Structure 1
Amino acid sequence: MLTRLRPGRRAYINTLVFLALIAVWWIITATNIVKPLFLPSPGSVVSAFWDANTCRPINDSGTAEVCGEDDYFLWQHLLASLERIAVGVGVGIIVGVALDFLMGTVNWIFDLVEPYLNFLRSLPPLGYMGLLIVWFGIGDVSKVWLLFLAAFPPIAMSTISGVRGVQQDRVLAARSLGADRGQVLRQVILPSALPQILSGIRVATGFAWTTVVAAELNNGIPGIGGLAYLSGTRLDTPLTIACIIVIGVAAVVLDLGLKKLSTALVPWEGKA
């Protein structure tokens, strides 16, 4: 049986590993083993991150200045992407949970819809991008649709699995005590399926976040994915790496937040 490290020791080891990676990165760039175009130094990445969040003069007299990158600060790019994620995943949650509760509790709806859901789940979201642009243009509507299509299948499958996996003994016990169908749904099926639903939402959010760069390839400004793409096409490698780091950190924070939310909403998970 594997033993887990204590939180304090684990944080200490993680810090050492992080510092070691930064040191290796700095040594590689300082010794010019890799050209700065391909791997800029940590300092230049930090400088690019700072410039993307501040205003700076563009002439010697300081009478004119530019703020951020592509007319927006980096945090505004990140916020725009988060808003698209929130709308796409939010609609995915509403549609997915409502539809799949019906699929999980009404057999004929399950038999009718399941083949199409499996078909949708098997398609890569990027395959829709061209069609969505034709249908909805290059604005935010096509991006939100893409993120919805990325988030919907994981939510749908986890909801169906959670609802259909409820122990029938609990349902029969509730009905024997006089509970009607609505009470069974609210007080038995939903609490029992909620852990898997939340797990599906967590997976869907992560999947949608990994799709955000692709969603913002076309007219993605403001957007952290769009900024990462454009800075790469301009060979601004420090800014590209800064965007990648921000995307990764944001993903970790989102996942931790959803994990904490799941623990708060279903404290009984694993205990009953």
Structure 2
Amino acid sequence: MSSTVLEPPRGVRRWVGLALSLVVLLATWSVVAAADLVEPHYLTPSPLQVWDAFIRANSHHAVGGGIDRVVRGEENYFLWEHLVVSLRRIGLGLLFGVLVGVPLGLLMGSVRWVGDLVGPYVDFLRSLPPLAYIGFLVAWFGIYDTSKVWLLFLAAFPPITLATINGVRGVRQDQLNAARSLGASGLQLTTAVTLPATLPDILSGLRVAVGFAWTTVVAAELVNGLPGIGGLAYLSGTQNKIALSVACILVIGLTAIALDAVIRTIEKLVVPWRGKA
């Protein structure tokens, strides 16, 4: 008789692997923090210290060692409120990036001379680091949300545009010819053939844009960025509240992963044919 060993499903193995890697990471982090390899010791906060900073940032707590002064979260906002404000700014930047980038990408991909003319400017914007022009945006639009949304838009706009261009240029010519033979107009070709065929690339560009927006949010919130998770991460770092700064960084990273998972889920629902022959 032969015995068969039942292997756990792939999804279970994946989650077990992630859990084990997380345990190893936390254990290594705790050992490094306890070893005091960096002086002063508060520059290497332990996982428990970061967790305590996270809890304090989401609750009312006493400061100064006394009980007579109770503050609300950090900078008078809970951490989740800082996150919501940053999400709103990022959402607006992404929205404008889609509203401008998708039509422009469709035009640049369909009309070659437009692509040749505008393409270098899109590549120029894509190559610029956010800190290079945050000062100009603050000077032009002020220190409030307008300059921040503009910066996030400029971070999100190029990848969405370039992904749309690649999608348009990948549309099969026989699909376009078939639609033309049925009497489709130019607008109908765009809405019924080109745009649906390009949608997978647009969603991929949106995923990249979300990543760029999150990497830009700290720069966007350097000036008058409170409330805002990026502004709080920067301010806490300058005030040597390293545990709180690490907590903000972890929240930013985990939120970005969650948003990417949401986009991938939407992609599976909207374009289920992607990756299939």
Q: What TM-score range do you get, normalising by the shorter chain? A: over 0.9
8 Å contact from structure 2 (residues 105, 164) kept in 1: yes
| Match of residue 112 from structure 1 | 117
| Match of residue 147 from structure 2 | 142
Matched, 1:154 2:162: no
| Match of residue 249 from structure 2 | 244
Q: Distance in 2 between matches of 1:187 and 1:135?
A: 40
Offset from partner CA, 1:153-192 (integer Å, 9 cap, x none): 1011111111122111110011112222222212211111
Distance 1:125 1:60, change over 3 A: closer
| Match of residue 24 from structure 1 | 28
Which amino acid is the alignment partner of residue 18 of structure 1?
L
8 Å contact from structure 1 (residues 28, 34) kept in 2: no
Note the C-alpha offset of 1:59. Answer: 7.1
8 Å contact from structure 1 (residues 228, 244) kept in 2: yes
Note the C-alpha offset of 1:61. Answer: 7.4
Q: Distance in 2 between matches of 1:18 and 1:236?
A: 24
Note the C-alpha offset of 1:120. Answer: 2.2
Instruction: Please point out which of 49, 53, 57 is paired with 2:58.
Output: 53
| Match of residue 4 from structure 2 | none
Q: Distance in 1 between matches of 2:156 and 2:11?
A: 32
Q: Which moved more, 1:103-112 or 1:249-258?
A: 103-112
Note the C-alpha offset of 1:137. Answer: 1.4
Q: Distance in 1 between matches of 2:213 and 2:191?
A: 29
Q: Which residues of structure 1 form unaligned runs of 5+?
A: none
Distance 1:37 1:194, change over 3 A: same
Q: Distance in 1 between matches of 2:86 and 2:213?
A: 11
Q: Distance in 2 between matches of 1:185 and 1:233?
A: 51
Instruction: Please point out which of 162, 169, 176 is paired with 1:171.
Output: 176
Instruction: Please point out which of 257, 264, 271 is paired with 1:266.
Output: 271
How many residues matched? Answer: 268
8 Å contact from structure 1 (residues 72, 222) kept in 2: yes
Matched, 1:40 2:31: no
Note the C-alpha offset of 1:63. Answer: 4.8
Note the C-alpha offset of 1:37. Answer: 1.6
Note the C-alpha offset of 1:252. Answer: 0.6
- TM-score w.r.t. structure 1 length? 0.93
**Structure 1 vs Structure 2 CA RMSD:** 1.7
Matched, 1:81 2:83: no
Matched, 1:215 2:220: yes
8 Å contact from structure 1 (residues 59, 65) kept in 2: no
Instruction: Please point out which of 8, 29, 33 is paired with 2:12.
Output: 8
Q: Which residues of structure 2 form unaligned runs of 5+?
A: 1-8
Which amino acid is the alignment partner of residue 30 of structure 1?
A
Q: Residue 70 of structure 1: SS of its match in structure 2?
A: coil
Identity of matched residues, % = 55
| Match of residue 240 from structure 2 | 235
| Match of residue 95 from structure 1 | 100
Q: Residue 214 of structure 1: SS of its match in structure 2?
A: helix
Q: Residue 82 of structure 2: SS of its match in structure 1?
A: helix
Note the C-alpha offset of 1:110. Answer: 2.3
